[in-house]
């Protein structure tokens, strides 16, 4: 049907990633080999339990945690909800009850919306602005923390721009003020190093499918001693922090993805950064009227957020898709709702311009030839869309 040497070029690794063959093999084994429930006491149960605990060790090892600090979930959205609702409720009786929350204006909806729901229930929330570079100002965090015990929730790196927040400094401030710190690390995990031994984060969310693992699996790191109430009740699983039989295939896939990231993450991140830079340099050289949002040397290595002036992002997305190239206009959820990216708006980009941004994110399966093919397509597609907007 298609004579192109590139049937599809997938540049949306921020939304989800292809399964790594090594992870796939682990998942298939987990599906095939385990009839037992990890909570059962017989040999089949013990075998399933063993696979689950091995996965837990793999996840813990990637972030420098203890295995018992890892709670398996259905993904980062659940992890974020569990962290925020769970800590507010779990700390209610404690001396450091979180009655206030401090967050950023650029969080993923799976953080922003639970916080908004908690705000309706009386939690007082401070949303810290970010600058044009997408980064929050530490002084404003310090100021917000002066008013007593709080829950701080700040992402490790942004899902639309790749901009990284200074998590170590944020953690130091939070610790000094006796605040709890949660961080959504789903985009950064495996791409930026994180060690919960040296960065004093209390809760950390991660996801398997951003890391060449299966969709529908994630984890929440819960530092020992952090009071966390469960969202799901009805069983002793996950040390009573998440009832229900966990997805064994999900957990094993997540574990395998984390083990792979621990081994290969730095090398893959460097390769991603090289491809991203090749893409951006090509775009700048070949397409007039482009602006990059969130460029920084320490940003996520695989993300490129580019505004093509006077080109509706949704039009360019569709035009590229028809040519076999998958990109995004923002967070997968934002694309569904068709609103301009709240992240770019928070960075001071006007709505009309924010609608002209697309996110290209590289990863497994992308190589120089594919990047170069996209660079041959982009100038003509952008020119065609700009011409279409003029008189017929």
Partner 1 sequence: MSARGARVVVAMSGGVDSSVAAALLVEQGLEVIGVTMHLAGGASRCCSLDDADDARRVADRLGIRFYVANYTDAFRAEVIEPFADAYLAGRTPIPCVACNRRFKFRHLLERARALGAEAVATGHYARNVRDPETCRWRLLRGRDATKDQSYFLFDLDQEQLARVRFPLGELTKEEVRARARALGLATADKPESQEICFVPDGDYAAVVERLRPGALPGEGEIVDGAGRVVGRHRGIHRFTVGQRRGLGVALGRRTFVTGLDAAANRVHVGTQEELHAARAVLEGATWIDGAPPAPPVRGLLRIRHRHEGASATLLPRPDGDVDVRFDAPVRAVSPGQAAVLYVGDEVVGGGWIRSSAP
* CB of 222 or CB of 385, closer to partner 1: 385
Chain positions 337 to 356 lying near partner 1, rule: CB under 8 A, are 337-338
Is residue 388 close enough to count as binding partner 1 by CB under 8 A?
A: yes
Give the integer Cα–Cα distance in Å for 102 and 196.
20
Residue 389 in the binding site for partner 1 (CB under 8 A): yes
Give residues 239-278 in contact with partner 1 (rule: CB under 8 A).
none
Three-class DSSP category at 233: coil
For helices 248-286 and 21-33, angle between their N-to-C axes, nearest 10 degrees: 160
Question: What distance lies between CA 305 and its chain's CA centroid?
Answer: 15
Note if 258 is an active site residue. Answer: no
315 scored as a contact of partner 1 (CB under 8 A): yes
374 binds partner 1 (CB under 8 A): no
Is residue 314 at the binding interface for partner 1, with CB under 8 A as the rule?
Answer: yes
Angle 178-143-152 from CA coordinates, rounded to 5°: 45
Q: For the window 3-42, what string marks contact with partner 1 as x by the rule CB under 8 A?
A: x---------------------------------------
Nearest distance from C-beta of residue 286 to partner 1, angstroms: 19
CA angle in degrees (0–180, nearest 5) for 137-308-163: 25
Residue of 92, 318, 332, 369 interacting with partner 1 (CB under 8 A) = 318
Contact (CB, 8 A) for 38 and 245: yes
Quick check: 121 binds partner 1 (CB under 8 A)? no
Picking from 190, 372, 180, the residue whose alpha carbon sits closest to that of residue 286 is 372
User: Which CB, 95 or 322, lies closer to partner 1?
Assistant: 322
Query: Is residue 322 a contact point for partner 1 (CB under 8 A)?
Result: yes
CA distances to 87, 176, 264, 276, 286 from 172, in Å: 19, 6, 29, 32, 44
What's CA 375's distance to the chain center, in Å? 27
> Given the rule CB under 8 A, which residues bind partner 1?
2-3, 312, 314-315, 317-319, 321-322, 336-338, 384-385, 387-389, 392
Annotated catalytic sites, by residue? 333
């Amino acid at each position: 049907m298609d004579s192109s040497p590139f049937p599809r070029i997938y540049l949306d690794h921020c939304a989800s990633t292809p399964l790594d063959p090594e992870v796939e093999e682990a998942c298939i084994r987990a599906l095939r080999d385990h009839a037992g429930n990890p909570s059962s006491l017989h040999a089949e149960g013990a075998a399933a339990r063993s696979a689950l605990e091995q996965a837990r060790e793999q996840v813990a090892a990637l972030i420098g945690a203890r295995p018992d600090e890892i709670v398996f979930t259905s993904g980062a959205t659940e992890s974020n909800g569990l962290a925020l609702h769970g800590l507010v409720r779990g700390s209610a009786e404690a001396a450091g009850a979180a009655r206030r929350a401090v967050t950023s204006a650029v969080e993923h909806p799976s953080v922003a919306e639970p916080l908004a729901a908690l705000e309706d229930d009386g939690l007082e929330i401070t949303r810290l602005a970010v600058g044009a570079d997408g980064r929050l100002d530490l002084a404003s965090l310090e100021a917000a923390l002066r008013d007593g015990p709080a829950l701080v929730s700040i992402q490790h790196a942004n899902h639309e721009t790749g901009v990284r927040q200074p998590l170590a400094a944020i953690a130091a401030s939070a610790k000094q003020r006796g605040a709890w710190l949660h961080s959504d690390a789903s985009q950064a995990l495996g791409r930026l190093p994180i060690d919960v031994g040296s960065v004093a984060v209390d809760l950390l969310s991660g996801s398997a499918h951003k890391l060449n693992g299966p969709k529908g699996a994630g984890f929440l790191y819960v530092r020992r001693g952090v009071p966390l109430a469960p969202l799901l009740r009805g069983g002793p699983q996950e040390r009573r922090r998440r009832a229900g039989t966990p997805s064994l295939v999900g957990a094993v896939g997540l574990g395998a993805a984390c083990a792979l990231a621990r081994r290969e993450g730095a090398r893959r991140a460097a390769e991603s950064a090289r491809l991203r830079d090749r893409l951006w340099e090509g775009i700048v050289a070949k397409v007039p009227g482009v602006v990059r949002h969130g460029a920084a040397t320490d940003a996520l290595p695989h993300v490129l957020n580019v505004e093509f002036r006077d080109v509706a992002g949704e039009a360019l997305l569709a035009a590229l898709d028809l040519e076999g190239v998958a990109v995004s206009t923002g967070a997968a959820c934002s694309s569904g709702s068709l609103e301009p990216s709240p992240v770019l708006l928070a960075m001071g980009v006007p709505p009309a311009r924010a609608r002209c941004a697309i996110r290209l994110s590289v990863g497994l399966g992308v190589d120089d030839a594919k990047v170069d093919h996209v660079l041959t397509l982009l100038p003509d597609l952008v020119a065609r869309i700009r011409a279409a907007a003029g008189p017929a």
